[in-house]
Chain A
Amino acid sequence: MTTKAPTELKGIERWRFGLVLGVFLVLLAVVVAWLIKLHVVQQSFLVEQGEKRTVRTEVQAAMRGMITDRFGKPLAVSSPVVDMWLNPQEVALESVPEVAKMLNLPVRELGLKTSKAAREGRSFLYLKRQVEPAVAQALLQKRIPGVYGEEGFRRFYPAAEVTAHTVGIVNIDGRGQEGLELAYEDYLRGTSGSRQVVKDLYGNVIKQLQVKDVAKAGGNLTLTLDLRLQYVAYRELKAAVNQHQAASGSAVLLDAKTGEILALVSQPSYNPNNRAALKPEAMRNRAVADLIEPGSTIKPFTVAAALQTGKYTPNTQINTSPGYIRVKNKTVRDHRDYGVLDLTGVITKSSNVGVIKLAHDMGARQLWRFFTGAGIGQPSVLGFPGEAISQMPYPEQMDSLRLATVAFGYGLSMSPLGLAYAYTNFTEEGCRKPVTLVQDMTQGKCEEGISAPIAKQMLRMMETVTTKEGTGSRARVPGYRSGGKTGTAHRVGRRGYEEDSYTSLYAGIAPISNPDLVLVVVIDDPKGKEYYGGEVAAPVFSRIMEQALRLRQIAPDDGSIQPLQVAGGIQ
Chain B
Amino acid sequence: MKWKVVLLLALVLSALWQISVAHEHRQLLQRWQQQDALRNNLQRQYSMLLLERSTLAAHNRIDRLARQELNMTEPKNIQVLTR
Is B54 located at the chain interface by the 8 A CB criterion?
yes
- Contact across chains for B47 and A77 when beta carbons are under 8 A apart: yes
Partner among A228, A556, A564, A565 whose Cβ is within 8 Å of the Cβ of B59: A228
A80 with B26, Cβ < 8 A, contacts A159-B58, A561-B79, A564-B82 known: no
Q: Given B47, B60, B82, which contacts A78 in the complex, CB threshold below 8 Å?
A: B47
Which B residues lie within 8 Å of A570 (CB)? 81, 83
B15, chain A: closest CB distance, angstroms: 18
CB distance from A569 to the nearest CB of B (A): 4
> Once A and B bind, how many residue pairs between them come within 8 Å at the CB atom?
69
Q: Please state if A231 and B59 are interface contacts (CB–CB under 8 Å).
A: yes
* A334 lies within 8 A of chain B by Cβ: no
Residue of A nearest to B22 (CB): A207
B14 at the A interface (CB under 8 A): no
Asked if B83 contacts A80 (CB within 8 A), the reply is no
Verify A205–B59 contact, CB threshold 8 A. no
Minimum CB–CB distance for B3 against chain A, Å: 30
Contacts of B31-83 to chain A: CB distance below 8 A? 33, 40-41, 43-44, 47-48, 50-51, 54-55, 58-60, 78-83
Bound CA span A556–B55, Å = 32
In the complex, chain A residues whose CB is within 8 Å of the CB of B44? 79-80, 133
**Most A-side CB within 10 Å, residue of B41, B44, B54, B78:** B54
Chain B residues whose CB sits within 8 angstroms of the CB of A228 once the complex forms: 59
Contact B58 A158 (CB under 8 A): yes
A208 near B29 (CB under 8 angstroms)? yes
A561 touches B29 (CB 8 A): no
Is chain A's interface secondary structure helix, strand, loop, or mixed overall? mixed
Known: A206-B26, A207-B25. A563 touches B82 (CB 8 A): yes
A434, chain B: closest CB distance, angstroms: 28
Q: 8 Å CB contacts to B: which residues of A53-83?
A: 63, 73-74, 77-80
**A102 beta carbon closer than 8 Å to chain B:** no
Task: Tell me the smallest distance from the CB of B49 to a CB of chain A, in Å.
Answer: 10
Q: How large is the interface on A (under 10, 10 to 19, 20 to 34, 35 or more residues)?
A: 20 to 34
Q: Give complex CA distance A71, B66 in Å.
A: 22
> Which residues does chain A contribute within 8 Å of B58, judged by CB atoms?
158-159, 231
Cβ contacts under 8 Å, A566 to chain B: 81-83
CB distance from A67 to the nearest CB of B (A): 12
Q: Which residue of B lies closest to A197 (CB)?
A: B29
Cα–Cα distance between A158 and B59 once the two chains are bound (Å): 11
Residues of B within 8 A of A207 (CB): 25-26, 29
CB distance from A536 to the nearest CB of B (A): 23
Complex Cα gap A235–B67 (Å) = 15
Interface pair A159/B43, CB less than 8 Å apart:
no
Q: Does A210 contact B (CB under 8 A)?
A: no
A383 within 8 A of B: no
* Contacting pair A79 B80 (CB below 8 A): no
Q: Are B54's CB and A80's CB within 8 A?
A: no
Given contacts A158-B55, A159-B54, A570-B81, contact A205 B47 (CB under 8 A): no
CA distance A78 to B50 in the complex (A): 10
Q: Is the CB of A479 within 8 A of B81?
A: no
Given A80-B43, A555-B80, A156 contacting B51 (CB threshold 8 A): yes
CB of B25 to closest CB in A, whole Å? 7
- Asked if B26 contacts A563 (CB within 8 A), the reply is no
Measured CB to CB, the closest approach of chain B to A326, in angstroms, equals 50
Q: Which of A80, A231, A232, A555 contacts B82 (CB 8 A)?
A: A555
Residues of A within 8 A of B48 (CB): 79
In chain A, positions 156-171 with a C-beta closer than 8 Å to chain B are 156, 158-159
Which residue of chain B has the shortest Cβ distance to A273 in the bound complex? B51
Residue from A74, A205, A563 within 8 A of B50 (CB atoms):
A74
Query: A159–B54 Cα gap in the complex (Å)?
Result: 8
For A231, the chain B residues whose CB sits under 8 A away are 58-60
Contacts A74-B54, A79-B47, A207-B26 given; indicate if A563 touches B81 (C-beta within 8 A): yes
From A208, A232, A561, A571, give the contact of B83 (CB < 8 A): A571
| B69 CB, nearest partner CB in chain A, Å | 19
Q: Which residue from chain A places its CB closest to the CB of B60 in the assembled complex?
A: A231
Residue from B33, B41, B80 in contact with A563 in the complex, judged by beta carbons closer than 8 Å? B80
Cross-chain contact B33 with A158 (CB below 8 angstroms): no
* Complex-state Cα separation, A205 to B26, whole angstroms: 9
Residues on B with C-beta less than 8 A from A475 are none
Q: Determine whether A227 belongs to the interface, using a CB cutoff of 8 Å to chain B.
A: yes
Q: Is the CB of A156 within 8 A of B81?
A: no
Verify B80–A556 contact, CB threshold 8 A.
yes
Cα–Cα distance between A78 and B78 once the two chains are bound (Å): 42
Q: For the complex formed, measure the closest distance between the CB of B35 and the CB atoms of chain A, giving whole angstroms.
A: 13
Q: Are B47 and A156 in contact (CB under 8 A)?
A: yes
- Chain B residues, CB < 8 A from A565: 82
Is A429's CB within 8 Å of the partner chain B? no
Sorted nearest first, the 7 A-B pairs with minimum C-beta distance are A231-B59, A158-B54, A79-B47, A569-B83, A563-B82, A80-B44, A563-B80
Q: Which residues of A contact B (CB under 8 A)?
A: 63, 73-74, 77-80, 133, 151, 156, 158-159, 205-208, 227-228, 231-232, 235, 479, 555-556, 561, 563-566, 569-571
Query: Measuring CB to CB, which residues of chain B are less than 8 angstroms from any residue of chain A?
Result: 25-26, 29, 33, 40-41, 43-44, 47-48, 50-51, 54-55, 58-60, 78-83
Excluding A227-B59, A566-B83, A570-B81, 14 further A-B contacts by CB distance (< 8 Å) are: A74-B54, A77-B47, A77-B51, A79-B47, A79-B51, A80-B47, A205-B33, A231-B59, A555-B82, A561-B78, A564-B81, A564-B82, A565-B82, A566-B82
A-B contact pairs, 24 of them (CB 8 A): A73-B54, A74-B50, A77-B47, A77-B51, A80-B40, A80-B47, A133-B41, A158-B54, A159-B58, A205-B33, A207-B26, A227-B59, A231-B60, A232-B59, A235-B60, A556-B78, A561-B78, A561-B79, A563-B81, A564-B82, A566-B81, A566-B82, A566-B83, A570-B83
